[in-house]
Structure formats: structure tokens, C-alpha cells
Amino acid sequence: MKKDPETHGGPPDCILLCRLREQVLRELGFRDIFKKVKDEENAKAISLFGDVVRLNDVIEDEGKRVESLIRGIFAGNIFDLGSAQLAEVFSKDGMSFLASCQNLVPRPWVIDDLETFKVKWSKKAWKKAVIFVDNSGADIILGILPFARELLRRGTQVILAANDLPSINDVTYPELIEIMSKLKDEKGQLMGVDTSKLLIANSGNDLPVIDLTAVSQELAYLASDADLVILEGMGRGIETNLYAQFKCDSLKIGMVKHPEVAQFLGGRLYDCVFKYNEVSS
């Protein structure tokens, strides 16, 4: 690669470098190196799910409730073992989800379209949302799922798109199906909310970033009539798709966990990105 940077079919961008790293790890037998940590964190987060949902449900003001849910996504997104700094914090102290919610960097964030989103939220319920999910543990269970549940309450069909194969501590499609089976009650509800409009899809992806031109046929079909696309996490929402343009409304949401990304954006380490683009109907 040093001799010829394009030897693998193109310039060495973020997606190609991630793909080469995963390829080498898998060839050497490292297929799911964080499996034990993921299982432990999923179990912890599942035990806290009800409390987190109840804390949001008691917020009567719709704008304040959606902001609380968004803050929960950022707090959950901290559980990322692909960030050296956070992996170190995690190994030493573990992480408190509720403390993380309180300790986000103050607004305005480096990209902060939250007020615009809140106005749109108060006026419109989307018909179908596709959410590209990120990490296991608190990220998916305490961050994304309470937000997805709120969308379901509003009548939106929700597609959760998860990785096909393990990569770092990202949640996979089979793992997400298992998580949902543990969270739903005997009526198939998620803390009192009907889940008949919730689908879990295999994105066809096996990286911590994503090339949206190469998703699974199943997901491409399911997303064809979506009117909201959400890319969560630094890899999918910031490093590879921050400037991606969609034919429908889109939201890129994630925490900045690498110094290089913070520098590029002109923000702080652990700053938040909330980039909302509305398509005029």
C-alpha cells in the first residue's frame, strides 16, 4: 500500500482502511473480539431499560422529552471500544449512563440542529424511519431503543439496520434480534408500546463505518419509501456520511471521539454532532 496507495481499488479512504483492518483480523482468527464485553454490557443495559424509559415518559413537554431522548443517544454512544481514550476509561471505571447524560458538553454543539428538529418533531410524524445503529450495550438499548419507541408511539414505522458481521463492539443483526426478544413483554410490547411496526434489518455491512451504496437488498427494499434516515455514531454518521444527501429528511447523530475528527470539525473532543436536513415537500 505504501508503494501504490490505490493497489486495493481506490484511494485509501476511511472505508477502505477499515475494510483492510477487518480483513486482516478475520484472517488471523479474530472474528468477534469483544463478544464477552458486548454480552455483559447488553445484560447491564437491559436491566436499566425500564428505568430510562420511565424517566423519559414522565416528561410531559414534547420538546423537552425529545431533547432528553436525543441526549440519551449521545450518552449511550460513549460505549465505543473503537476509541482508545474511551476504551481506557471503560476498562478502569465502567460507565454510568445517567451520569453521561448529565455530563455531555454544553450546547451549542459543534453541529447543532436540535431546535430545528424539535420544531419539525412537534409538527410532523414521519411515516417510516430507517435507523442505522452503532454500538452494543447502552448505545443501542438505552440510547436508540427509547428513541425508536417514541417514534413508534407517534405512528412511525421503524427499521433498525444492524451490521451483518461483528466489528469492534458494534451490535450485529442476530444480537439485536436477541436483545429485542428480551425487552418485549408477552404481548410483544416495548414498555406498553406496540412493536408491530418495528422491523430489524440486516444492513449487509461488516464495518464500523458504512458505504450506503453497498447495503443489503433487503434493506434497500425496506428503505425505498422511508421519509427519515438516521445514521447514528461517529463511523456511520460523521466519518463516512456527514455530507451525504438524501431524497428524504435525514439525521446524522454521534459523539466526536477521535481528536482528528474534532480538529476537522473545529470542535472539542466528546463534542456532539446533531445534523438534521429537511427535504422540502
In this structure, is residue 152 part of a structural domain? yes
**Band of pLDDT at residue 123, cut at 50, 70 and 90:** very high
Q: Specify if 2 maps to a domain.
A: no
Q: Give the percent of the chain with pLDDT over 70.
A: 91
pLDDT of 91 > 80? The answer is no
Q: Before 208, cis peptide (omega within 30)?
A: no
Task: Give the DSSP H/E element, type plus range, for residue 228.
Answer: strand 228-232
Domains held by the chain: number: 1
Q: What mean pLDDT do residues 131-135 have? A: 98
CB atoms within 10 A of CB 81: 21
pLDDT tens for residues 216-275?
Answer: 999 999 999 999 999 999 999 999 999 999 999 999 999 999 999 999 999 999 999 999
How does residue 101 score in pLDDT terms, banded at 50, 70 and 90? confident
Residue 140: band (very low, low, confident or very high) from pLDDT cuts 50, 70, 90: very high
- Predicted pLDDT of residue 89: 64
* Residue 77 lies in domain: 32-277
For residue 16, is it within any domain?
A: no
pTM: 0.93
pLDDT, tens digit (0-9, with 9 covering 90-100), for 178-225: 999 999 999 999 999 999 999 999 999 999 999 999 999 999 999 999
Q: Is residue 14 part of a domain?
A: no
pLDDT of 112 strictly over 80: yes
pLDDT for 17: 86
pLDDT of residue 210: 98
As a whole number of angstroms, the distance between CA 44 and CA 42 comes to 5
Position 51 in a domain:
yes
- The enclosing domain of 193 has a CATH number of 3.40.50.10880
Residue 165 pLDDT > 80: yes
Q: For residues 45 and 78, is the Cβ–Cβ distance under 8 A?
A: no
Q: What is the pLDDT of residue 79?
A: 72
Nearest to residue 223, comparing CAs of 131, 125, 126?
A: 131
In a domain, 5, yes or no: no
User: What confidence tier does 149 reach under pLDDT thresholds 50, 70, 90?
Assistant: very high
